[in-house]
Chain A
């Protein structure tokens, strides 16, 4: 029995030069067509499709093969959290101190009140996630060091906490995945320890030494590229897994391509992430780098990377990874500040931060020897996933961007309803590039890929 063909995918039509990119994100399918093609598909949607002609039948057949027609309901990549959180990952904000004074530091590291995590705070957090992992039957816990300062400055707690975690996890039959964000200014003995003990490191390195040294300076104002390059070379020699994060200020946008080329020609990072400098912290009043120039620079840098068989990444443009979350703030991310408060956000690391009241959702309670959580706050954070954002409903990038960084949107829009940002434009343009690149890579006519589950960890771009 023949039935009328039915659209079975959420379809977006994205204008490109002299044509239209038809994109079904949840089917991981896309192709380029003309206006007539779009209108025929719109006919299918409206139920006004006229079958019978060779062209109409061919179009339906083409769409069917891309799972856009007659392929049943799509599965949205929705993960949601309820009740008391039971995280199996902990991120420790070890210190607000830093051995650098980067001009664009979002955390104003070194200028904020000095805080340093004690082993006691770290121990409680580690014990908590180990207990959760045992209860949930997880095979491993994740331990990350991040935020607010340079984690390696609090060397004592860094090394002791990882040793403690490994000891306790071994008793519980768990593995420990440990990673750190780091500025790369490290003495050799710390490099040796990192290579021997961590599973990965995200290093901040801006590419060309002159570009790096313009912003990433020590307390005396001296550039740090020599130190960081030494660290990277040591990592390469040891075949250690690390990623590089390049932060681009407005005046350095013209150097993006050369910086990425420099990285590709000299180092072997597992991934290269390029982000515009955030107008936060010391860079609050600086000119925005979230411009059309950044997009053009990113494209040039991407082309340079591909010449070396590499890809560069932008945190919120990630075709191939479907999620309703950008990062962990909607997924009960469990980060501990130096003082022991529970934060959901990497960028909110002390109580003095502007949005601490939004992102701090719990603290250790000595009376119960456990963590007490503010479930209302947590539910508010959980409600920031992209499927619950009205503004994002019609955006083709929503299932890959996941709603972008909530902290940044708060900085732009305030606490009201999300109203978009300059980053949205960057995300859409770079997402479009990725779709087109996938079409090209798939032979040039269409892209269609089997969906391989949701990317639970999408958004943890800072840590490998």
Chain B
């Protein structure tokens, strides 16, 4: 068995074995979404985000892929949320991976995380992913990790980072106001 150890990227820099795409890192501010388009090369698509924050309260950071040049409306990855009630037990927060409610956010709240999509350009239908990280909600840290599979016979060729409420897919006109997003590929 071969075990590959992957070290997530630090803010503003690339990690070993990862080739940043042109335009990465990005430090978005004053825009509601960030689209990385025309991604190609390597086998795996790797994104990391650190210190990312929204100027509007009650928002969750989301990521969705572009498939065959189109940002679809259904393939959504929940990247982080800002839950109310800092100090609540981790158990209460963990439920956000299945359901989100009562989101809240203050200026100091940020989120960080990592997304890996394996064989993202594959046209053999299955492209599995894992996403993990944390959101800072006041005095609390919310950790999350989950995985899944995209099922599509076209390649993934882009990533859109945007804000939503409740963890659903409707994009909100809410702007980034801090943070760094890295996108790269690895063999």
A in complex with B: no
A→B interface (CB under 8 Å):
none
